[in-house]
Amino acid sequence: MLRLGIDIDGTVTSPETFVPYLQKSFNESITFEDMKEYDLTKLLNITEAEFWKWMDEKEPLIYKEAPMALDAKIVLDEWKNKHKLLFISARRSHLEEVTYEWFKRNGLTYHQIDLIGTHDKLQAVKKNKIDVFFEDKHDNACTISEVFNIPVILFNTPYNQEPVPKNVIRADNWLEARDWVNSYAENRYSLTK
């Protein structure tokens, strides 16, 4: 049984979730492909303070209505009795109710959900003894893989295309991620026999 650390936004939820809200609030022509950086202030040409003011207003609705990433439910359902599903998100704690309701409404099993309020997930990875992490933020994936020497599945997006270290495995979708993790779990199990 692996302890899987799973980011929520852009990983379990579709990475395109924010696009319609950005289009409506800032610029109707923004596309997902335009999102070349995780930091949206440059794309939107706004200050960090303006961005967080917008997030404070829109975040609960965005997370409430977020579509699930393609095939995420299929894969997570396959794993719910095989592995520990530990969701570790940078969401802030005031979004706890919205988050739990989203999981319930989407019928997603979890063994734990941690809203840590920061992108620095190192303490949460260490505390939860994570074996494999799932992420969409490039620097998080690289740092987690290097600090803990564990594999990190990085879901490909336009905003995370920089080079990655050997322990960061790119996946275009949840089915690719599943195949890699299942093979990893099988190999790990056969080595311990």
Q: Which pLDDT belongs to residue 62?
A: 97
Q: Where are the alpha helices (DSSP H) in the chain?
A: 19-25, 40-44, 48-65, 72-79, 96-105, 122-127, 138-148, 174-192
Is a pLDDT exceeding 60 seen at residue 172?
A: yes
Per DSSP, the three-state class of 28 is: coil
- Rounded percentage of the chain residues whose pLDDT exceeds 70: 97
pLDDT digits (tens, 9 = 90+) for 75-101: 999 999 999 999 999 999 999 999 999
> Which residue in this structure is represented by tokens 């600090």?
147
